[in-house]
């Protein structure tokens, strides 16, 4: 499966805006964990890993950043996350790099699994070798 963008409905009235991301509804999995990334300098690249089990939805709720996804077989995609109602779905076993963070960027990450450092692949060499040997669809 490939990463794709989600467009969350914006519920607005005279008081402002509200966006809902409900698990198994607006987000294609049950949400077990959230974390957020902020205060990242513009020249820093974060992520740089793939996850064996976790699926993610990334939302830049303030500011902007870019996300490059790779599948180890030449299918690279770049997403500009710059709207609080825009989510990026990332399936398991996809390599991801987050970069070009604006100073005010707050990148909210919704995950399908609890944190387990052992499911992270942090070497691109190891990742691409595994992707060339296995059929992850």
Catalytic annotation present for 118? no
Rounded Cα gap, residues 98 and 66, in angstroms: 6
CB 112 within 8 A of CB 29: yes
**Residue 121 binds ligand TYD (CB under 6 A):** no
Quote the tokens at residue 15: 């008081």
Which is nearer to ligand TYD, 13 or 41 (by Cβ)? Answer: 41
Rounded Cα gap, residues 110 and 130, in angstroms: 25
- The one catalytic residue in 49, 52, 68, 92 is 49
SS3 66: strand
Size of the site for ligand TYD (CB under 6 A): 6
CB of 120 to ligand TYD, least distance (A): 7
Write out the binding residues for ligand TYD, residues 14-43 only, by CB under 6 A: 33, 35, 37
Answer for which of 36, 46, 84, 121 binds ligand TYD (CB under 6 A) is 46
Rounded Cα gap, residues 91 and 29, in angstroms: 10
Active site residues: 49
Residues of this chain that interact with ligand TYD (CB under 6 A) are 33, 35, 37, 46-47, 115
């Amino acid at each position: 499966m490939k990463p794709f963008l989600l467009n969350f409905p914006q519920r607005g009235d005279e008081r402002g805006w509200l966006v809902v991301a409900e698990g198994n509804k607006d987000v294609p999995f049950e949400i077990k964990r959230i974390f957020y990334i902020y205060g990242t300098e513009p020249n820093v690249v974060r992520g740089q890993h793939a996850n064996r089990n976790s699926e993610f939805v990334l939302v830049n709720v303030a500011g902007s950043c870019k996300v490059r996804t790779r599948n180890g077989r030449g299918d690279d995609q770049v997403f500009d996350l710059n709207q609080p109602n825009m989510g990026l779905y990332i399936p398991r076993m996809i390599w991801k790099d987050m970069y070009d963070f604006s100073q005010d960027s707050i990148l909210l990450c919704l995950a399908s699994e609890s944190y387990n450092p052992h499911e992270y692949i942090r070497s691109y060499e190891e990742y691409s070798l595994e992707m060339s040997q296995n059929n992850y669809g």
